[in-house]
Amino acid sequence: MASIYLQTFGCQMNTADSNGLAHQAWSMGCTFTDDPAQADIIIVNTCAIREKAETRVYGRLGQLKPFKDSKPETKVLVAGCLAEKDRNVMRQKAPFIDALLGPREYNRFKQLLADWGVPTDLAPPETEFTMPSPEDDPGHDGPAQFSHLRALVNITRGCEKFCTYCIVPYTRGPLESLDPDDIESQIHREIRCGAKEITLLGQNVNSYYHAPTGLTFAQLLRRIGRIEGLERLTFLTSHPKDFGPDVVDALAELPNISPRLHLPLQSASDSVLKAMARLYTIDEYLEKVAYFRERLPRWALTTDLIVGYPTETEEDFLATLALVERGTFEYAFIFAYSPRAGTPAATMSPQVDPAEKIRRLQVLNTAQNEVMRRFNESFIGETVRVLTQGPSKKDPARMAGKSGHNATVIWPRDPATEHRAFVDVAVDQAFQWGLAGTAV
Ligand code: 5AD
Ligand code: SF4
């Protein structure tokens, strides 16, 4: 029986893929360990979205090398987006690796395990499958026994938008919409296993289209919204071009939908948006947001922003800053542009000076933090429903969880509420990072 160490970098798509790999290995009778020294097989599921992600992956591979050196029969598999992107240089940079599998090659995983001596004829174990290892950056996330409350379910794979800065279409391939019946049965399965919150996943969920039945994303949402036992539903991520009023109307009908929408803008400058090939103008984006705000008041709008994209001028940047300062987004993920070899933007000129990118990043972050703090403060005096994650990492005397808006919420730990999936918390304090209160 083989023992596996599995570590995941990157986005939720990768977490979902790791889940799938772990499930396949489990069905072949493998067990899991969080100690690489104990492992027969080491798997690192990698990310290539920005240079920083790559650096962290290579750093981790360097740390794992001694385990292979001291026990050469240990097999090392590098999976994920960096395995795909660096296919030809990975073996040079990390020669101790035994195999590479890109995100579109996981159908070869079982065969690989078989090649490595894992028997294929064992019956699946009698114990329930649970996701073995923590994510790379669990943040405030609690211990593993709570992770089954939240489940990730893919509805699309790949992306064919080809935004000029992005590596994903190259690593994950063209768009594919999954069968609605399969999606629904996976959700049923997750609920049976205890999931309270389902996140529908796709690089661009709005372009979901099931050709045989003509089902759109809005229709899929309505169908999923009726599933019994589904207490919280959310989805990631949307492309503004395909995000239409039909989706907003569907969201307005769903009782269990979390009040948050992630709609990556990237930049508020039309010339930068055009250079990025984002396929919308800032006015078109704001028009969609206006309808969303009208139909879904008090939802949180979250976004992604890139500063220092090639050709971005001070004026372009100030347009993005002004939009952020106006409180357009409750939360935002802000990134300094990172050139990805093979993408059009990497060779575009002029590139923005790295120090200037960092300055713009800091200015924008400061502005957004202020908006975030004000939004969090608006919950003081209210009671929010929190999905428990477990004892807080920073202070085990407190519990931590997520509100429907996805704010981190902490409250004093007590035996009465400790094992509940949902806790209502009366908020009495707000911070930039989240909310604090007491269980009611
Ligand atoms: N540099 C910086 N940020 C990037 N993103 C994607 N590619 C890059 C890049 N090359 C950001 C975008 C996207 C988020 C997932 O990552 O904002 O929405
Ligand atoms: Fe996810 Fe993109 Fe990183 Fe791949 S490159 S793991 S799709 S964030």
Residue-wise pLDDT for 384-437, tens only, equals: 999 999 999 889 999 999 999 999 999 999 998 888 999 999 999 999 999 999
What is the rounded CA–CA span in Å between residue 389 and residue 411? 12
Residue-wise pLDDT tens digits, 188-247: 999 999 999 999 999 999 999 999 999 999 999 999 999 999 999 999 999 999 999 999
Residue 7: both structure tokens together: 């570590």
250 Cα to the center of ligand 1, angstroms? 28
Q: Where in the chain do CATH 2.40.50 domains reside?
A: 383-439
With H, G, I as helix, E, B as strand and everything else as coil, classify residue 365. Answer: helix
* Architecture category of domain 138-377 in CATH: Alpha-Beta Horseshoe (3.80)
305 CA closest ligand 1 atom index: 17
Ligand nearest to the CA of 50: 1
Neighbours of 189 (CB within 10 A): 12
Mean predicted confidence (pLDDT) in 335-350: 97
302 Cα to the center of ligand 1, angstroms? 15
Q: Whose CA is nearest to atom 14 of ligand 1?
A: 304
Tell me if 98 sits within 8 A of 65, measured CB to CB: no
267 Cα to the center of ligand 2, angstroms? 20
Per-residue confidence (pLDDT) for residue 417, from 0 to 100: 85
Task: Judge whether residue 5 has pLDDT over 50.
Answer: yes
Q: How far apart are the first and last CA of the chain?
A: 47
DSSP 369-398: HHHHHHHHHTTTT-EEEEEEEEE-SS-TTE
Task: Label residue 136 by pLDDT band (50, 70, 90).
Answer: very low
Write the CA distances from 144 to 33, 45, 92, integer angstroms. Answer: 13, 18, 35
**By percentage, how much of the chain surpasses pLDDT 70?**
95
Task: Label residue 132 by pLDDT band (50, 70, 90).
Answer: low
What is the rounded CA–CA span in Å between residue 306 and residue 364? 10
Residues flanking ligand 1, CB < 6 Å: 49-50, 165-166, 264, 266, 304, 306, 335, 337-338, 340
Query: Domain 3-115 has what CATH class?
Result: alpha beta
Q: Where in the chain do CATH 3.40.50.12160 domains reside?
A: 3-115
Q: Where in the chain do CATH 3.80.30.20 domains reside?
A: 138-377
Minimum mean pLDDT range among 119-133, 319-333, 365-379, 388-402: 119-133
Mean predicted confidence (pLDDT) in 273-298: 98
Mean predicted confidence (pLDDT) in 272-291: 98
Q: Which CATH number describes the domain made up of 383-439? A: 2.40.50
Residue-wise pLDDT tens digits, 164-192: 999 999 999 999 999 999 999 999 999 99
Ligand nearest to the CA of 102: 2
167 CA closest ligand 1 atom index: 7
333 CA closest ligand 1 atom index: 17
Ligand nearest to the CA of 52: 1
Residues flanking ligand 2, CB < 6 Å: 10-11, 13-14, 47-49, 80-81, 167-168, 171-172
Q: Whose CA is nearest to atom 8 of ligand 2?
A: 11
